[in-house]
Structure 1
Amino acid sequence: MEFEFIRNTLMGEYYVKASMGHEVIGRWLQEEVGKDSAKLERVERLLESAYSLPHKEHILVGKEITLSICGDEVTVEENVLKQELDYQGEEAFSPYNSESTASCGIEDFDSMIKGWREFVFG
């Protein structure tokens, strides 16, 4: 997974540009964590727990996007995918789900989190 951090110095905003297929991970970091140091610490604690208890699933539910760590895999998924749709043509929308969920290795994710801390908080 490749990522790039971008700062808009005029607006004081921070952005994450993630590689194709991992865009939702970048959105999660940007929108669910952002510049909130308490939320970032919570994610770091979740990673520590995931490393020490790899057999257990570790979940952090956000407002719009949920983070899940199980073993050495991290999954980020929009919460709307968890809701059951009462629409018979639901399978017609499955190509769009690929933009709403992504997975990566725990080491790559950990590296991104450490990089974000350094980038945002110096």
Structure 2
Amino acid sequence: MEYEFRRNTLTGTLLANFSMDHEVLGRWFAEELGDNDTFFQELIDAIAKISKGQMNQWRHIGSDLSIELDNEQVRVFANVLGMDEEHEFDEQMDYYDAESESFCGLEDFEQALMSWHEFVNESK
């Protein structure tokens, strides 16, 4: 999983770009986490508890995107996923959902999270 963090020089907006199949992580970092130190610390604490076996899973429902952690992986997904469980797509329709849902390993996510936090603090 590759990623790049930037700040828009005109607007100051934080930007995160992740490799293919992980695009939604970029949106989550920029839109849901941003420069929120309290939320960052909550995530670090949850990862530590999960890694130590003190907690099985953790979930945070954001405004547009949510995140779930367990001892193996992280799932980031759009809140609209799963709301219309009865709707099924035509089998011949090519449905691309990498911009709506992504999975990555817990360790990879923690590394990206720490890099993001460092980036945000350096660019303040």
Same fold, TM exceeding 0.5? yes
Higher helix share: 1
8 Å CA contact 2:24–2:98 kept in 1: the answer is: no
8 Å CA contact 1:54–1:72 kept in 2: the answer is: no
The number of aligned residues is: 120
8 Å CA contact 1:58–1:68 kept in 2: the answer is: yes
Question: 5+ residue gaps in structure 1?
Answer: none
SS of aligned partner of 2:47: helix
Question: Equivalences for 1:1-122 in 2 at 5 Å?
Answer: 1-53=1-53, 56-87=56-87, 90-92=88-90, 95-122=95-122
SS of aligned partner of 2:7: strand
Runs of 4+ in 1 over 3 A off after TM superposition: none
Cα shift readout 1:95-114 (whole Å, capped 9, x = no counterpart): 13333111011111001000
Q: CA deviation at 1:63?
A: 1.1
Structure-1-length-normalised TM-score: 0.87
Cα distance in 2, alignment partners of residues 114 and 21 from structure 1: 21
Cα 1:73–1:94, aligned 2, differ >3 Å: closer, same or farther? Answer: farther
Question: 5+ residue gaps in structure 2?
Answer: none
Q: CA deviation at 1:82?
A: 2.5
The one-letter code sitting in structure 1 at the alignment partner of 2:51 is Y
Cα distance in 2, alignment partners of residues 47 and 37 from structure 1: 15
Cα shift readout 1:41-94 (whole Å, capped 9, x = no counterpart): 22222212221227712111111111111222111111101212554xx22377
